C-alpha cells in the first residue's frame, strides 16, 4: 500500500531574483526542492502561516517525479 505524504509549495522570491527567472520551492518528506515549474494532479488548498512564507499551497500525494526542473505531483 502506497503511503501519502504531505507537501507544500510556494514562490521563492529571493532565489528567483538570484537566478533571473521564477522559482518554486516544493517541500516534500523534509526536503526542500527548487524547480522551474510544477504539475499538480492532486487536490490542494491554501494555508496562511504566521512566519515566512506567509501563504503556501498544501496537499497530500503518493508520488513526486523530478524531471529537468519540472516536478510532477501525483
Instruction: Report pLDDT digits (tens) over 45-69.
Output: 999 999 999 999 999 999 999 999 9
Cell of 52: 515566512
Say what the pTM is: 0.91
Residue 44: beta bridge partners? 59
Query: What average pLDDT does this structure show over 35-44?
Result: 96
Domain count, the chain: 1
Q: Which domain holds residue 39?
A: 5-73
Q: Of 56, 24, 62, 26, whose CA–CA distance to 42 is shortest? A: 62
**Is 1's pLDDT higher than 60?**
no
Query: What average pLDDT does this structure show over 22-51?
Result: 96
Buried b (16+ CB within 10 A) or exposed e, 3-15: eeeebbbbebeee
Q: How confident is the model at residue 2 (pLDDT cuts 50, 70, 90)?
A: confident
> Which strands sit side by side in the sheet containing 37-40, from one edge to the other?
37-40, 70-73, 64-67
Amino acid at each position: 500500500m502506497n503511503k501519502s505524504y504531505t507537501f507544500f509549495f510556494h514562490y521563492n522570491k529571493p532565489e528567483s531574483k538570484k537566478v533571473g527567472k521564477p522559482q518554486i520551492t516544493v517541500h516534500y518528506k523534509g526536503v526542500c526542492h527548487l524547480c522551474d515549474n510544477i504539475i499538480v494532479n492532486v487536490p490542494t488548498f491554501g494555508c496562511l502561516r504566521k512566519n515566512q512564507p506567509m501563504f503556501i499551497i498544501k496537499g497530500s500525494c503518493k508520488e513526486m517525479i523530478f524531471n529537468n526542473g519540472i516536478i510532477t505531483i501525483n
